[in-house]
Amino acid sequence: MTSQTAQISASTPASAPKPVRSDFVQRYSTLGVLILMFLGFSLFVDRFLTPFNLSNILQQIAILTIVGSGLTFGFAAKEIDLSVGYTVGLAGILVPLLLTMGYPLALALLAGLLAGIIVGLINGVLITKVGIPSLIATLAMGSILFGVNFLMTGGRAIYGGLPGTYLALGQGRLFGIPNLAFFMVCAVAIAWFVMERTVFGRYVYAVGGNQKAAELSGVRITFYRMAALVLVSVFAVIAGALLASRLGSGQPNVGERYLLDGLATVFIGMTMFRPGTATVLGTFCGALFIGVINNGLNLIGMDTYIQNIVKGIIILTAVAIVSRTTKLNLL
Amino acid sequence: MSVHLSDILMEFPGTRALDEVNVAFHFNEVHGLVGENGAGKSTFVNILGGSLQPTRGRITVAGTDVTLSSPRSALGHGIAHVSQEGSLVPSLTGAENIMLGVEPRHTAGIMRRGALRSEAERLLATWFPGLDLDLHRPVGDLPMADRKVIEIVRALRGDIRLLILDEPTATLEAREKKQLWGIIKRLPTKGVGVVLISHFLSEVVELSDRITVLRDGKHVGTLDRAAASEAVLTDLMLRREAGQPEAETAAPSTPADPATAPVILAVEDWAVGSVEMDAFHLRRGEIVGLIGLTGAGHFGFARSLYARQGVVRGELSVDGQPIRGSGVRVMQRAGVALVPDHRMENALAGDGTVVENLTMVHPEFAAKSGILNRSLERREADRVIKLLNVKTPNQRQLIRNLSGGNKQKVSIGKWLYGAEARYKVLIFIEPAEGVDIGAKMEIYAHMRRLAAEGAAILIASSDLGEIAQVCHRAIPFVHGRPGADIHARDFSEGQFITAITGDAA
């Protein structure tokens, strides 16, 4: 038996497609690690598997998942948005600022949404019309937004005077489950539906899969690249508005960490289901991955600095795995 | 003194590219190497130049066994390869290009510019005394012939005994060609043998002392110049293997009356790049081939009918309707489709699935208000997969895992998914590029079927056998000018070669 297998594999040319089994391993190994991690923490960490802690994890990853779902649109079109953290910050300041100025909630939220669309359009124009690679255009855009965020508040946090209806969005619970979890599920469901079940999603994946081929197939590539970038920003401002609600204040620098964490969810997601391709479900699992590991390490009493190191290692590992299957041509 | 390759066997997965080839290249001769596309010429010179390692076989240089494991190791044994595409840095001067990588420098690593220039000039004067060539201008500003000379001088800068020249005159004007011929002839007198690959048979006959013919990876023979003529070489290159099915080479049945079938695509006074076409008509049910040598412009012309990039002027109409505006969407709406060459760059997303690629053009077929009906999509994709006989375990298989032939079928299938009979004109560029023989025959059968159903098909190809097999007529291109039509009843590859090399000599 053993010698037979050896013989077969020896005679298989190097370029032949990989056997089905390794394909399965490739698709689901990250998910397996996530499940093992979950079981491990459940068995060995006392306070991990409790309803309170689990709903806590959901609350902790909800905003990150929304940012990551947005970034997935960008990655599907092979556009990376490095300004996403500051876009989260932008809405996280603009919405509470308008509320403290006495504007009604609906109007404040609408303004936040509009700001997201504008940021996305500017990114889109810079990338598709001016022709600046997305990595560079959005890096510069991030710097601009960073400045804008501090200008709006004069560098101070906005708190006090926020209406209860707004605070309830991010802090309330329904049937004991945090509202944020519902928002997260909605965001994931919508993003998944758009990417997997609509013509729009097909075109976005086509543009990201091979821009030249999509163009020669008659796909309006500029439109779909722009649309993907606008969606990244729109999901980011939704996340930002919810973040300020959860914190009960608008702070100019809280969005930043959502850039790296958001990218991490997408990269981890790209190692599973369809290796090399950003998928919404993959990103969701990526967010769970980060949520479970952070929470577990927290409960063990691990320093937050150590958590950063662990996160960095996870991102590198994920990208290393992805790079083995596809070229990450993001510049 | 010679380089001797004996019993060279080269296998790629699924094909035998070279089969027991035996050739000796002497250092005092120009040795021509001819054969059709796919006959194994490139594989053979890549082995000689160290870029490929043969599966089996023996290589000796001046009687000693050697292994040519890389281009660098080939250079170490005195063998240099000047490729067809050109390998100069356009922004550097001729002298800088010649000395690239071996720049004279001070101990600290600072370049000695004066020494670099004089060394480059000395090399040029040694090899080609009396040649007037400006070595101090960026090579991007120089004529093509001068660039070729600079490449040759650079290749010769080491202790080189054998120089491989791959289509050295493909991009040159007739006058420039003659100049380069003089240079090539001079090399053997200085102890440097030349291996010359060229599509221009007249050139090979003119320059070579001996000529080796390859066909389907086999060494057909090596002839002395006295025994070689264009006619003899053509005959040797093209002779069919006994036992090859007759159907494969038979010309297709002509449409009922091609001369009276309605014109679907009409082009008047078309100018793109170096191509000028006064009038071109493609009729319903017709399969027309465009043939030519590298740089003849037939590919550019075919592409310009779909993506109108670089079109200087011209009128185009489809089904009698003049087409205004450019852009592929306009052409698509008019019913024109393109199956491009280099399919992994131009047609398919390798990391996408079969169904995603098939639905790239018309995903809306299986959608209502933008929302996909997956079972309808699966059924339609399945129809196309069955129709074209795409061999894939399922629709969710990644494209990159399919074979070349199946990839090409998906590239064609994109225009059939949800679009039955919508496309009246299908333009194919190199349709059988990297496709195995079985799939090739299937693809030709689909072309015939589509034509029989009323489509008009245009094929631009460098595979003359392919044109002979599927086309009703062929248009030869020479230096951007279309020649007289060749009709199926007059098809012979000898005729094709005469037509496309028309004014080569």
DSSP percent split of chain B into helix, strand, coil, nearest 5: 35, 25, 40
CA trace torsion B463, B468, B470, B473 (10° rounding): 110
Task: Give me the phi and psi of B156, to 5 degrees please.
Answer: -90, 0
Query: Six-digit token pair at B119?
Result: 């060394």
* B119 or B462: which leads in pLDDT: B119
In the sheet where B275-283 sits, what is the strand order?
B275-283, B263-272, B311-318, B321-322
How close B16 comes to chain A (CA, Å)? 14
pLDDT of the residue at A329: 59
Spell out a b/e string for A129-138, using b for 16 or more CB atoms within 10 Å of the CB, else e. eeebebeebb
**B2-238 is a CATH 3.30.479.30 domain:** no
Average pLDDT over residues B111-128: 88
Q: Is pLDDT of A17 > 70?
A: no
Average pLDDT, chain A: 88
pLDDT of residue B213: 92
Smallest Cβ distance to B351: which of A197, A209, A219? Answer: A209
Closest residue in B to A215 (Cα) is B328
State both tokens at B420: 């039955």
Residue in A202, A216, A326 closest to B338 by CB:
A216
| Sign of the CA dihedral running A168, A169, A174, A180 | negative
For B246-335+423-505, CATH gives: 3.40.50.300
Report the sign of the C-alpha dihedral through residues B129, B134, B138, B140, in that order: negative
* DSSP letter, residue B241: P
- Asked if A106 has any chain B CB less than 8 Å from its own CB, the reply is no
pLDDT for residue B239: 64
Q: Is B37 helix (H, G, I), strand (E, B) or coil?
A: coil
d(CA B239, CA A152): 81
Q: Whats the size of chain B, residue-wise?
A: 505
Lowest mean pLDDT among A141-150, A278-287, B230-239, B376-385: B230-239
- Put simply, the answer to whether B13 touches A16 (Cβ < 8 Å) is yes
At B240 the pLDDT is 47
CA distance B82 to B352: 37
Q: At what angle do helices A51-76 and A257-269 cross, to 10 degrees?
A: 80
Query: From its phi and psi, is residue A114 left (phi > 0), alpha (psi between -120 and 50) or beta?
Result: alpha
What the block records as the tokens of B398 is 């990644």
Residue A289: pLDDT above 90? yes
Mean pLDDT check: name the lowest of A8-22, A179-193, B320-334, B453-467: A8-22
What average pLDDT does the segment A239-244 reach? 96
Q: Which two tokens stand for residue B353?
A: 């699935």
Q: Are B153 and B124 in contact (CB under 8 A)?
A: yes
- pLDDT value of position A326: 66
Contact yes or no for B290/B302 (Cβ under 8 A): yes
At A221, list the tokens.
């590539």
Contact A216 B346 (CB under 8 A): yes
B165 three-state secondary structure = strand
Nearest CA to CA, how far is A262 from chain B (Å)?
23
| The amino acid at B168 | P
Given a contact cutoff of 8 angstroms between Cβ atoms, the answer to whether A92 and A241 are in contact is yes
Q: Is A200 within 8 Å of B370 when comparing Cβ atoms?
A: yes
pLDDT > 70: what percent of chain A?
A: 91
pLDDT exceeds 70 at position B55: yes
Name the minimum distance, in Å, from the CA of B351 to any CA of chain A: 7
DSSP B376-413: HHHHHHHHHHHHHT---S-TTSBGGGS-HHHHHHHHHH
Residue A273 pLDDT level (bands cut at 50, 70, 90): confident
Answer yes or no: is pLDDT of A103 > 90. yes
Domain range annotation of chain A: 62-325
Look at residues A84, A139, A96 and name the one whose alpha carbon lies nearest to residue A259.
Answer: A84
Fold for A62-325, please state it: ABC transporter involved in vitamin B12 uptake, BtuC (1.10.3470)
Distance CA A237, CA B491 (A): 67
Which chain A residue has its CA at the smallest distance from B350's CA?
A: A209
The residues, any chain, with a CB within 8 Å of residue B321's CB and separated by 6 or more, are B334
Residue B96 has pLDDT above 80, yes or no: yes
pLDDT tier, B170 (very low <50, low <70, confident <90, very high otherwise): confident
Interface test with B, best of A194, A210, A270, A323 (most B CBs within 10 A): A210
A158 beta partners: A250
Same CATH fold assignment for domains B2-238 and B246-335+423-505: yes
Helix axes A280-300, A304-325, angle to 10 degrees: 150
A216 touches chain B (CB under 8 A): yes
Query: Which positions 189-208 of A are in contact with B (Cβ < 8 Å)?
Result: 197-200, 202-203, 205-206, 208
Average pLDDT, chain B: 87
Question: Mind listing the pLDDT tens digit for each residue in B353-382?
Answer: 999 999 999 999 999 999 999 999 999 999
- pLDDT tens for A163-189 read 999 999 999 999 888 999 999 999 999
Which of A31-35, B10-14, B453-457 has the lowest average pLDDT? B10-14
* Interface membership of A218 toward B (CB under 8 Å): yes
For testing contact with chain A, the best of B306, B351, B356, B369 (most A CBs within 10 A): B351
8 A C-beta contact, residue B125 and residue B75:
no
Name the region of B480 (left: φ>0; alpha: ψ -120 to 50; beta: rest): left
Residue A204: what are its φ and ψ, rounded to 5°? Answer: -60, -45
Nearest to A197 by CA among B394, B359, B417, B374: B374
According to DSSP, the β-strands at B193-197 and B30-34 are parallel
Residue whose pair of structure tokens reads 């560079």 in the numeric block: A136
Once rounded to an integer, what is the mean pLDDT over residues A58-85?
Answer: 95
A323 in contact with chain B, both atoms CB, cutoff 8 A: no
The whole-number average pLDDT for the span B472-496 is: 86
Does residue B185 carry a pLDDT above 80?
Answer: yes
Give the mean pLDDT of B174-195.
88
- As a whole number of angstroms, the distance between CA B425 and CA B282 comes to 9
Measure in Å the smallest separation between the Cα of A295 and chain B Cα atoms: 34
Partners of A212 on chain B (C-beta within 8 Å) are 345-346
β-pairing, B371-372 vs B425-429, is unpaired
Report phi then psi at A72, rounded to 5: -60, -40
Q: Report CB contact under 8 Å: B352, A210.
A: yes
**Taking residues A55-81, what's their average pLDDT?**
95
Domain locations in chain B? 2-238, 246-335+423-505, 342-422
- In whole angstroms, how far apart are CA B285 and each of B253, B263, B471, B486? 11, 10, 11, 17
Around Cβ B157, how many Cβ atoms within 10 Å?
19
Element (H, E) at A44: helix A20-44
Longest distance between any two alpha carbons in chain A, whole Å? 78
Taking the CA atoms of B497, B498, B504 and B505 in sequence, report the sign of the dihedral they define: positive
Q: Is residue B351 within 8 Å of residue B398, measured between CB atoms? A: yes
Output DSSP code: residue B254: P
Handedness of CA A95, A98, A102, A105 (dihedral sign): negative
A275: nearest CA in chain B? B351
Q: How far apart are CA A321 and CA B2, in angstroms?
A: 49
